[in-house]
Structure 1
Amino acid sequence: MTHSVEAAMAAFTPMLPLAIGLSGGADSTALLLACARRWPGQVSAIHVHHGLQAAADNFEQHCITLCAQLEVPLTVQRVDARHARGQSPEDAARTARYQALQAAVAAHTVVPASIALAQHADDQVETLLLALSRGAGVAGLAAMPAQWQRGGLAWHRPLLEVPGADIRRWLQAQHQTWVEDPTNSDERYTRNRIRARLLPALEAVFPAFRATFARSASHAAQAKELLLELAEQDLAQVGNPPRITALQALSTARQANVLRHWLLIAHQTTPASSQLAQLQQQIRACTTRGHRIHLKVGRGFVLRAGAVLDWYN
């Protein structure tokens, strides 16, 4: 079951004061308007100026005007969100946006207890479909969480169960304008192709797809938590760095799970599926003292160092 803006906001109980990530688009405009009305004097806004398109100045001006009308303090963070070679433009912009939000807090430009972002039900479906298209595992299929902790702050997505069209209808009923991002109609971006072509088809065939997809993402998020708990327990048993004989005693699935966890928490890298399968094959074959392991994994290499695995880049 999808929620209305009013129902979503009634269920939203963040720690105050609250900062809103304000792009100037319909979704964040609605989120700021609703929060400023509910908690007057307790809400601030952070706008990230990406500098990637001519319309960026119009977004900033909309945010300045809106915040002045609502008497909400506004911080503008200017970033260079150009993507590096091999990086998608969407990923680069998203990374720059999160870094800018955290930088505003770290600089004490704003001092919130919570930050709210305006992703909605359609964004969640698009994220899930992108994860499926990439062959993602449970972590990817968990899509976007409704709330999480990062950098000592509570982060929230209160509109995650509200369809984008409902948000726009709500804004129109409030006689509130917003700015349309011209890149949203550019189908060179995969997410935009999903929005323009797949979502209407899903609507026609499965009218309740937003709610059912959200339920699947929630199930995946629970499974992700269980896998993390198991990985932590197994890593405590096999050691850090992991002992090869202890890894060999685990089932294939648990071994893969703990290896991913070790590589992520100890070395901040993630193996490709083919790399992980090759590493597990070498671990199984490692039954003699002279067996050598030296494999490209993630951003570096896993090698055998006596009785344990090691990693370097």
Structure 2
Amino acid sequence: MAASRTPRPNRPEPEGNPAEAALAGLQLPLPLAVAYSGGADSTVLLLAAARRWPGQVQAIHVHHGLQEAADGFEAHCRAACEALGVALQVRRVHARHAAGESPEEVARVARYQALARAARDAGLQAVLLGQHADDQVETLLLALSRGAGLPGLAAMPPVFQREGMLFVRPLLALPAQAIRDWVREQGIPVVEDPTNADTAFTRNRIRHVLLPALEQSFPRYRETFARSSRHAAQAQELLETVAQEDLARMGGTPALAALQALPRARQANVLRHWLRTAHAASASAAQLEELLDQVTDCTTRGHRIRIKVGRGFVQRQGERLVFAADEA
């Protein structure tokens, strides 16, 4: 059984929850929800939030159905929320990925959609997420391993909007070990995802192999890596401003002549921004380079552009670029 014993009902609120300090200074719109998986991270967050804002906190559990233990996770969450007197919503998602798409990314997007919709349906104003400092480092190292640009190196933002809902990650400065130690000391039951120990997954190899080595060589790596991510986020914010201004001057959609007047790096910047913000699409490095080459070569009326990007195509329509969703 993936979940440990059923939570003891009516247990007193334990003292010393490491998440409480992270929530102490936060002023958030109420009521709100905690994204609750039943794991240690979301458990300490739910306990701290319920104590910080009594009667103003609900829990949302997303059932992915991706493994046999998922029903056990849901049962644990129901019992834990009943013991706490916290309302729980369970949302089931069945994320299907297309060829070439990451199953993990598709599941992540489906999870955020489910959380946002559940929160809206319940009249909630924000959703708290339990990612911590080690998750942030893992995200940064994954981005580095994939050759990511500034958005990837910025890792996870502490506050963001998705599907019209405010999401907040208050635990990003809190090490995973502090959470695990407190949960174990208090004897608080949590679920353990069996896939977390599977080093066939890159993130798990980072967690179990790379992070311990970093701890030995650079004990303050969580702080210094987080600082680098903040620098990347600031630089990305500046690029976003430039892209918005460039696109506005083109009338809101990429104009070939205006693009050609920009340096190549600035062309790439505005095209990435346009694809992401207007069409929720992301071009691979190879697709973007091909698109930039086509923009450069587009000097005649008969020059045709049609390049696959995500679930659609970027193509020429007169003197502008448009995005056409794949009908297949």
TM-score by length of 1: 0.90
User: Of 301, 308, 323, which residue of structure 2 is paired with 1:296?
Assistant: 308
Code of the residue aligned with 2:289 in structure 1: it is: A
- 1:161: Cα distance to partner? 1.0
Counterparts in 2 of 1:266 and 1:165: CA distance versus 1, 3 Å: same
User: Of 37, 41, 63, which residue of structure 2 is paired with 1:27?
Assistant: 41
Q: Which residue of 1 aligns with 2:60?
A: 46
Q: Which residue of 2 aligns with 1:153?
A: 165
- 1:12: Cα distance to partner? 2.8
1:243 aligns with 2:255: yes
Q: 2:35, 2:61 within 8 Å by CA — same for their partners in 1?
A: yes
Q: Deviations over 1:150-173 (max 9, x none)?
A: 333321111111111101122234
Q: Which residue of 2 aligns with 1:282?
A: 294
Whole-angstrom CA distance in 1 between matches of 2:163 and 2:275: 22
Q: Deviations over 1:22-55 (max 9, x none)?
A: 0000000100011111211111111112222232
1:10 aligns with 2:61: no
- What CA RMSD, in Å, does the superposition of the two structures yield over aligned residues? 2.0
Q: Which residue of 2 aligns with 1:70?
A: 84
Q: Deviations over 1:234-268 (max 9, x none)?
A: 00112333222211111221111111122223333
Gaps of 5+ in 2: 1-17
Q: Note the 1:62-211 alignment, pairs <5 A.
A: 62-81=76-95, 85-106=99-120, 108=121, 110-211=122-223
Q: 1:27, 1:167 within 8 Å by CA — same for their partners in 2?
A: yes
Q: Which residue of 1 aligns with 2:240?
A: 228
Counterparts in 2 of 1:305 and 1:150: CA distance versus 1, 3 Å: closer
Q: Deviations over 1:45-83 (max 9, x none)?
A: 111122222322322222122212211111122222465
Q: 1:27, 1:120 within 8 Å by CA — same for their partners in 2?
A: yes
Gaps of 5+ in 1: none
Code of the residue aligned with 2:149 in structure 1: it is: G
1:58 aligns with 2:72: yes
Q: Which residue of 1 aligns with 2:50?
A: 36
Whole-angstrom CA distance in 2 between matches of 1:198 and 1:274: 29
Whole-angstrom CA distance in 2 between matches of 1:297 and 1:88: 15
Q: Deviations over 1:193-245 (max 9, x none)?
A: 11111111111111111111111111111111111111010001123332222
Code of the residue aligned with 1:249 in structure 2: it is: A
Whole-angstrom CA distance in 2 between matches of 1:278 and 1:87: 20
Q: Which residue of 2 aligns with 1:305?
A: 317
Counterparts in 2 of 1:311 and 1:190: CA distance versus 1, 3 Å: same
Code of the residue aligned with 1:73 in structure 2: it is: A
Aligned residues: 308
- 1:98: Cα distance to partner? 1.6
1:273 aligns with 2:285: yes
Code of the residue aligned with 1:14 in structure 2: it is: L
Whole-angstrom CA distance in 1 between matches of 2:19 and 2:107: 27
Query: 3-state DSSP class of the match of 2:59?
Result: strand
Whole-angstrom CA distance in 2 between matches of 1:100 and 1:293: 36
Greater than 6 Å deviation, 4+ residue runs: none
- Aligned-residue identity in percent: 60
